[in-house]
Structure 1
Amino acid sequence: MTAQRHGQIIAVDPEGIAEYKRLHAAVWPQVLEMISACNIRNYSIFLKEPENLLFAYFEYVGSDFEADMAKMAADPVTQDWWSRCMPLQRPLDTRKEGEWWAEAEEVFHHD
């Protein structure tokens, strides 16, 4: 199965950058296990300052993205993790309805 590549963008509160970095320097093991259990691989988050934008990239290797994302969203540990991260994030005004992180279109890829 070929991986589906995803790119996502969100802003981060300038006053929350240090906390966001601190959280992600030591992601809880249960959160990492859930990410893997939901068929996400090669997951990275990048910070662009001074614009204070986060860019996430991951590869989805499963067969039912919506079901795997629902599984992740239902996990109590993940919910607790998100409750710490989400207040630091600022969704883009231009995101599509239902998105928290705005999906970015892939316009080029080279292996």
Structure 2
Amino acid sequence: MMQRMGMVIGVKPEMIEEYKRLHAAVWPQVLKQIRNSNIRNYTIFLREPENLLFGYWEYHGEDFTADMAKMAKDPVTQEWWTHTDPCQSPLASRAEDEQWSMMQEVFHTD
């Protein structure tokens, strides 16, 4: 079963170019971990001047929590996050365990 998922986070204005640079050449091991975590069609959009990042992916696994825990334990992914997290500005309204704030799907059409 596929589940569409959207999420949002702020990006620090002074870090936008660095964030773009990082994502122009995502490390192959990070891309492999994303795929191994059953995530497909992962896209990040930037909205300026509000400096918001909107992420979208399609989850094709059976246990999202377990897959995300496995990803979080990956040393290469952890290293990647030491570069990307400082660029981000999490929303004050996010859940306690969230970096990116998950969004509720309210409409979809094919």
User: Which residues of 2 match residues 64-103 of structure 1 at below 5 A?
Assistant: 64-103=63-102
> What displacement does 1:61 show?
0.2
Q: Tell me the matched-pair count.
A: 110
Gaps of 5+ in 2: none
The amino acid of 2:82's aligned partner reads S
Q: Distance in 1 between matches of 2:3 and 2:19?
A: 26
> What displacement does 1:99 show?
1.0
User: Which residues of 2 match residues 30-109 of structure 1 at below 5 A?
Assistant: 30-109=29-108
1:9 alignment counterpart: 8
**Is the deviation greater in 22-31 or in 88-97?**
88-97
2:24 alignment counterpart: 25
Gaps of 5+ in 1: none
2:109 alignment counterpart: 110
The amino acid of 2:73's aligned partner reads A
Q: Distance in 2 between matches of 1:90 and 1:17?
A: 11
> What displacement does 1:50 show?
0.1
Q: Distance in 2 between matches of 1:97 and 1:28?
A: 28
> What displacement does 1:96 show?
1.6
TM-score under structure 1 length normalisation: 0.97
Instruction: State the identity %.
Output: 65
